[in-house]
Structure 1
Amino acid sequence: MASYPPAKCCAVGVKHEGTATGEVKSIDNIRTYFAYPEDKSTQNAIIIFTDIMGMDFINVQLIADQFAANGYFVAIPDLFDGNVVPLNPPADFDLMKWIQTEMPHVPTVDPKIEKVIKHLRGKLGVKRLGGVGYCFGGKYACRWLKKGGCDVAFTAHPSFVDKEEVEGIKGPLSIAAAETDQIFPAPKRRETEDILQKMSVPYQLNLFSDVEHGFAVRCDLSKKPAKFAKEQAFLQAVAWFDEYLKQGSLGARL
């Protein structure tokens, strides 16, 4: 594997303050959060594959709104059917049991993603599609970076990514990694680099110090190094999409 399976660190973090400005609609019975750019254009779009907190987690909705503020139409499908993990689970919540028995896997997740992408590229007129994957979603950002899927992808602190999924990507891939990350530690980063170096697609891997797994979504914004790393990871994603998904950006806005 190019990263390890999810663990306890995947559910730890800080809820961020803010009010989401998007809306929730249904795509073939799949609840999906939509965030629109100022001009309401859907030609350049991003699909976000979330961590195990799911689509309704305010932090990821605020991130979607940030991408929209930078000119992208954004969709976040509910890949968990609402059966998600609460942030900082209480002591009586058995996270490892949830991962082993309730967390969705490829046979149920892939069909949902396929339906959403078909809808985006069909009825909604999406011409270019970027994939963003956080933690659990990192697997699918890589897995769907292929013909008929996403054209470009970004992932932060990915988990559960198979080596073959990295080897199978067909477009530009950008990765934001944490210095302290038992899911995507240094040996797995190096394994990923070794794979990417042998491929013909553009790639990028940025390592951020003083942060842990989950920093790009759930970090403590009161801590200056964490806030800086989260913002820089977001700007990394926007710059990547501006370069490989659309041209003529006026610069990223936080």
Structure 2
Amino acid sequence: MTSSIPGSCCFTGFLHQGDPKGEIEQINNFRAYVARPEGDKTPNKAVILLSDIFGIFPNSQLVADAFAVNGYLWVLPDLLNVDQVSIADYDAKAIDIGAWISRHTVEDVAPIVEATIKFLRTNLDVQNVAAAGYCFGGKYVVRYLKAGQLDSGYIAHPSFVTKEELGAIQRPLSISAAGTICLPYPARSLYLLWLNMSLTSSEHDPIFTMANRHASEETLIGTGQEFQINLFSAVSHGFAIRGDITQPRVRFSKEQAFAQAVAWFNHTL
């Protein structure tokens, strides 16, 4: 699958209401939000939530809590090292997006993902580890769908993933995709998005376009891995994590994307 450069839709969204139930813990030199399934002190299945550019607060925490209710240990590492974007700063044009992107390259983010996987497999002795990635975080689900790393992946409206990364996956992937147009951000370079996971897509997503989806299908078929792609009409890039859930169609699509991820992990882990 291919995706284009970040767009304005990557930097906008809605704050969801709720009281997070998990805890902020320290893993190596970064913080992480941990949501544990009730009554299960030694889970053998865990999922890492790799966030969008808004980081670990608060929408991602609420999603992690909802997944934990379904029986999985969820760990949400701070991929952005306390440098998350705020919707208010973006709206006020108080952030230089190009400079922000340059501070969060693979060299900056990959060590955090690797340390989280190691923490689960070594420190907690978790046998089955998967990841769910939203927008920015989707790239790192794809990169680590390999033996000894991630056993399964799910991504929603992904960005920044390369064709080579998608073609190299060794484990199953599910995708959720969205359908409403937003304007691409004029970044300096073009990023392609490829994934071996469950992918949720939107119908009019300029980041993960129809052409991207079709190309991704060809690449995923070539990997020989099990995959799934669900397309949600009339919702925007970001709907699965930061959509306006006061709108019935957006709420329905978000809930269905969540159900897709739960069913995928129940099937593949």
User: Residue 180 of structure 1: SS of its match in structure 2?
Assistant: coil
8 A contact 2:167–2:222 mirrored in 1:
no
Matched to 1:189, the amino acid is R
8 A contact 1:6–1:99 mirrored in 2:
no
Counterpart Cα distance in 2 of 1:95 and 1:6: 13
- TM-score normalised according to structure 1 size: 0.92
Moved more, 89-98 or 4-13: 89-98
User: Hey, what does 1:192 align to over in structure 2?
Assistant: 216
Moved more, 121-130 or 92-101: 92-101
User: Residue 155 of structure 1: SS of its match in structure 2?
Assistant: strand
User: Hey, what does 1:252 align to over in structure 2?
Assistant: none
User: Hey, what does 1:241 align to over in structure 2?
Assistant: 265
8 A contact 1:48–1:75 mirrored in 2:
yes
Residue pairs, 1:50-129, within 5 angstroms: 50-55=51-56, 57-88=57-88, 89-102=90-103, 104-129=104-129
Structure 1 stretches of 5 or more lacking a match? 246-254
Structure 2 stretches of 5 or more lacking a match? 179-202
- Structure 1 vs Structure 2: percent identity of aligned residues? 45
Moved over 4 A (4+): none
Deviation by residue 1:121-140 (Cα, 9 ceiling, x = unmatched): 01112110111000000100
Change in Cα spacing, 1:100 to 1:81, as seen in structure 2 (3 Å) is closer
User: Hey, what does 2:49 align to over in structure 1?
Assistant: 48
8 A contact 1:7–1:96 mirrored in 2:
no
User: Hey, what does 2:230 align to over in structure 1?
Assistant: 206
TM-superposed CA distance for 1:58, in Å, is 1.0
TM-superposed CA distance for 1:240, in Å, is 0.2
Deviation by residue 1:144-202 (Cα, 9 ceiling, x = unmatched): 11122110000000000100111011111000000121111111111111101222110
- TM-score normalised according to structure 2 size: 0.87
TM-superposed CA distance for 1:239, in Å, is 0.2
TM-superposed CA distance for 1:12, in Å, is 0.9
User: Residue 66 of structure 1: SS of its match in structure 2?
Assistant: helix
Moved more, 88-97 or 216-225: 88-97
Aligned length: 243
User: Residue 46 of structure 2: SS of its match in structure 1?
Assistant: strand
TM-superposed CA distance for 1:95, in Å, is 4.5
